[in-house]
Chains A and B, each alone.
Chain A
């Protein structure tokens, strides 16, 4: 069984013919060749597969393709602005927010989502906002700092 699914990813429209239960994660990586979104656990625990659907953070390993018919999706590839890093990306880069980098795409999307909802988050709100993204390398401290700096940079705009 296949289903025709229409979706907009990072501003670009796509029509794909896929098994309706195919995971959004695999649609992105295999059908659309957007490999920035990662698989870390396949259980919705690690957040490495996080993307934004209509502005809301979700774990793409838990989304079947049929359910994003007509959706607008933002992946890590859609975060940077033309020719430049998004301020979140710049802050992660400058503050040691990425070590091995495998959790980074999901972490940046979670940050994006957090700052959208809470432009000036407290440390506790940052901890909660990112609690669904596991990082094994950093111990989170540099990530929190990157998020705080990104919030300030956003403020300054």
Chain B
């Protein structure tokens, strides 16, 4: 334990409005603490820079799953366990359930939140690839009002997001539009459980008459941020996966992904391994489509 806990302030304002008012009055001063599975690790290892924290873990206003005819809206304070236990999500958004089940351990899934996973903005985070593939939109809230933006525009760089200092991520909305789409998600980690991603791909594709009409690809650990693989999507959109056409399709997809992926070497894995495996996962998906 490498921090002196007496040197930190933690407050729990009674409701969402109080939190928004607080962070508006002192923007950037406070770190928001939800499930704690990131910030408390930082505290334990002596790397928690922010000395003042605001707990939002108790806010029921943030912890919800609302199903409407068009979308599933998930509050940012929803835990991974909440996501796994929701029948609609299990049925319609399996990539998100899978991603949630791969995040940490059961104990960490009981605490970790979707909002924390997104806002911590690690390029290795588990839910962003699925959210990219599902073309999610996110709603940001502040005292000034709310704004809803495509998730694909949220990440700006390494742990840099569109979130303003006085804003909090309110909810994530996923369209209920994937009936009949093919879905794929696979994570390659350092081991089978409780592992940080070396790379992960989440893909949804609408295939008609052996042709990829639409495709969306999200990836982890292939860039300095969760990656929406627009080049690979562009290369594959409209392409045929009929038996005779499959090889060139695979080649084009792999090449496009290799171009837009910019993974790094780090203590867990190497750039070349990540690129190669990501391309293999894409190929695996395309071949599955073809069968």
Chain A: residues with CB nearer than 8 A to chain B?
1, 3, 19-23, 26, 39, 42-45, 47, 50, 56-59, 61-64, 66-67, 69, 110, 113-114, 127-129, 131-133
A1 interface neighbour in B9, B35, B45, B111, Cβ under 8 Å: B9
Q: Which residues on B sit within 8 Å (CB–CB) of A50? A: 107
A61 interface neighbour in B8, B12, B44, Cβ under 8 Å: B44
Q: Which residues on A sit within 8 Å (CB–CB) of B45? A: 42-43
Check if A63 sits within 8 Å of B194, measured CB to CB: no
Check if A67 sits within 8 Å of B194, measured CB to CB: no
Check if B111 sits within 8 Å of A132, measured CB to CB: no
Interface membership of B68, Cβ < 8 A? no
> In the bound complex, what is the Cα–Cα distance between A26 and B104 (angstroms)?
22
Q: Which residues on A sit within 8 Å (CB–CB) of B106? A: 57, 110, 113-114, 128-129, 131-132
Check if A64 sits within 8 Å of B107, measured CB to CB: no
Check if B194 sits within 8 Å of A56, measured CB to CB: no
Check if A47 sits within 8 Å of B5, measured CB to CB: no
Interface membership of B272, Cβ < 8 A? no
**Residue of B35, B57, B194 contacting most chain A CB atoms (<10 Å):** B194
Check if B9 sits within 8 Å of A132, measured CB to CB: no
Check if A19 sits within 8 Å of B44, measured CB to CB: no
Q: Which 10 A-B pairs have the closest CB atoms?
A: A132-B105, A131-B193, A20-B10, A62-B40, A42-B44, A21-B8, A21-B5, A56-B110, A19-B5, A57-B107
Residues of A contacting B: mostly: mixed
Check if B10 sits within 8 Å of A66, measured CB to CB: yes
In the complex, what residue of chain A is closest to B85 when comparing beta carbons?
A117
Report the count of interface residues on B (CB-CB < 8 A).
Answer: 32
Chain B: residues with CB nearer than 8 A to chain A?
1, 5-6, 8-12, 33, 35-37, 40-41, 43-45, 53, 55, 57-58, 81, 104-108, 110-111, 192-194
Distance in angstroms from A106 CB to nearest chain B CB is 9
In the complex, what residue of chain A is closest to B40 when comparing beta carbons?
A62
How many residue pairs link A and B with beta carbons under 8 A? The number is 106
> In the bound complex, what is the Cα–Cα distance between A69 and B107 (angstroms)?
19
> In the bound complex, what is the Cα–Cα distance between A50 and B137 (angstroms)?
35
Check if A58 sits within 8 Å of B105, measured CB to CB: no
B107 interface neighbour in A21, A47, A127, Cβ under 8 Å: A47
Check if B194 sits within 8 Å of A132, measured CB to CB: yes
**Residue of A26, A39, A67, A131 contacting most chain B CB atoms (<10 Å):** A67
Check if A62 sits within 8 Å of B111, measured CB to CB: yes
Q: Which residues on A sit within 8 Å (CB–CB) of B36? A: 62-64, 67
> In the bound complex, what is the Cα–Cα distance between A43 and B104 (angstroms)?
11
Q: Which residues on B sit within 8 Å (CB–CB) of A20? A: 8-11
Check if A23 sits within 8 Å of B193, measured CB to CB: no
**Residue of B10, B53, B55, B107 contacting most chain A CB atoms (<10 Å):** B107
Distance in angstroms from B268 CB to nearest chain A CB is 14
Check if A132 sits within 8 Å of B57, measured CB to CB: no
In the complex, what residue of chain B is closest to A63 when comparing beta carbons?
B36
Check if B111 sits within 8 Å of A58, measured CB to CB: yes
Check if A131 sits within 8 Å of B105, measured CB to CB: yes
Check if A43 sits within 8 Å of B12, measured CB to CB: no
Check if A62 sits within 8 Å of B41, measured CB to CB: yes
Check if B194 sits within 8 Å of A45, measured CB to CB: yes
A44 interface neighbour in B10, B37, B57, B192, Cβ under 8 Å: B37
Distance in angstroms from B115 CB to nearest chain A CB is 15
> In the bound complex, what is the Cα–Cα distance between A110 and B107 (angstroms)?
8
Distance in angstroms from B28 CB to nearest chain A CB is 19
